[in-house]
């Protein structure tokens, strides 16, 4: 029996409490917490809020039970945690899931081809922040190791099928963050943007989230980088050189991924990342 944690929206749909899902992606998380100590993460070994990931609550459910309604989703996304046996468990899960698309967060380099054979067509990499911030937020591996992994993943899955997760607002310099995004695109990968969300029980619970205005600039830069524009043509001295449009603020990630309300409440007047349910 394989038990996973499912995001609240996914869980209540799979349990039949919702007549339809408000996302095309089923979101799952490995249980047991993470042995890494990332200061902002609710799954960290230092966190007292391990039923959370960002501001979303996650609920346990057996995968065999979940499979009954999984076909309603276009994509299954498994968020891995770093702990003994996580790779083997993740591979077993991916072999069982029957959605058209399968996304996975970071696994060891030597396992990439096995996951591709199991139907994983997109992979996410939790780089999270700029190199100078790695020690401050206690990332488990050196920055260089993550960059090597991104290169290897692009080779296995192909260009634009590797999504590097970046969290804006952890205390980094904006210019370093934008330069890192440009570097990631030059490697053939994509960027999935998140806004830092302080979660009670984490080491960074008392930090403030970034301003929506600063985040909008980063989203606009990400959009144009994804369309092949060089950074020098997009922004100069902190000022955008190209127009900012509302669709630039849509959630960035794998196909059908919209991570509804990961960074904010649906009651908020303005959302950091606009999910599909709020666009229709």
Per domain, the residue ranges of the chain are: 3-278
Q: For position 218, what pLDDT does the model report?
A: 99
The per-residue pLDDT of the chain, averaged, comes to 92
Q: For position 280, what pLDDT does the model report?
A: 56
Q: For position 134, what pLDDT does the model report?
A: 97
Higher per-residue pLDDT: 75 or 263: 75
Residue 77 pLDDT grade (very low, low, confident, very high; cuts 50, 70, 90) = very high
pTM above 0.75, yes or no: yes
For range 206-222, the mean pLDDT: 97
For range 214-226, the mean pLDDT: 98
Q: For position 258, what pLDDT does the model report?
A: 87
Q: For position 279, what pLDDT does the model report?
A: 64
Annotate 180-199 with b (16+ C-beta within 10 A) or e (fewer). bbbebbeebbbbbbbbbbeb
DSSP helix, strand, coil percent of the chain (3-state; round to 5): 35, 20, 45
Q: For position 105, what pLDDT does the model report?
A: 86
Cα–Cα distance, 78 to 71 (Å, whole number): 16
CATH fold of 3-278, please? TIM Barrel (3.20.20)
Residue 249 pLDDT grade (very low, low, confident, very high; cuts 50, 70, 90) = very high
Per-residue pLDDT for 265 more than 80?
Answer: no
15-69, pLDDT tens digit by residue?
998 877 778 999 999 998 999 999 998 898 988 887 778 888 899 999 999 988 9
Q: Are 94 and 102 in contact (CB under 8 A)?
A: yes
Highest averaged pLDDT of the listed ranges 5-9, 69-73, 214-218? 214-218
For range 60-82, the mean pLDDT: 93
Cα–Cα distance, 201 to 279 (Å, whole number): 32
Place of tokens 């634009």: 160
Per-residue pLDDT for 269 more than 90?
Answer: no
Higher per-residue pLDDT: 233 or 53: 233
For range 194-205, the mean pLDDT: 94
For range 76-89, the mean pLDDT: 94
């Amino acid at each position: 029996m394989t038990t996973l944690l499912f995001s609240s929206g996914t869980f209540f749909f799979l349990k039949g409490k919702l007549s339809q899902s408000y996302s095309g992606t089923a979101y799952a998380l490995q249980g047991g917490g993470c042995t890494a100590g990332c200061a902002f993460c609710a799954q960290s070994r230092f966190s007292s809020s391990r039923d959370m990931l960002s501001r979303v609550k996650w609920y346990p459910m057996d995968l065999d039970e979940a499979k009954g309604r999984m076909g309603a989703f276009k994509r299954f996304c498994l968020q891995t945690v770093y702990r003994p046996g996580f790779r083997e468990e993740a591979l077993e899960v991916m072999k069982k899931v029957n959605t058209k698309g399968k996304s996975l967060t970071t696994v060891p380099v030597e396992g990439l081809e096995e996951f591709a054979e199991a139907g994983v067509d997109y992979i996410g990499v939790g780089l999270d922040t700029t190199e100078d911030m790695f020690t401050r937020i206690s990332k488990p591996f050196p920055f260089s190791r993550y960059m090597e992994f991104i290169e290897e993943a692009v080779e296995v899955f192909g260009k634009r099928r590797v999504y590097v997760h970046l969290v804006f607002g952890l205390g980094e310099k904006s210019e370093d963050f934008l330069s890192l995004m440009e570097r990631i695109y030059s490697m053939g990968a994509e960027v999935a943007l998140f806004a830092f969300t302080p979660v009670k029980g984490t080491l960074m619970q008392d930090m403030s989230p970034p301003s929506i205005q600063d985040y909008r600039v980063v989203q606009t830069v990400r959009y144009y980088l994804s369309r092949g524009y060089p950074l020098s043509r997009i922004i100069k001295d902190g000022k955008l050189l190209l127009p900012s449009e509302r669709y630039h603020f849509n959630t960035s990630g794998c196909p059908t991924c919209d991570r509804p309300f990961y960074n904010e409440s649906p009651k908020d007047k303005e959302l950091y990342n606009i999910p599909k349910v709020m666009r229709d």
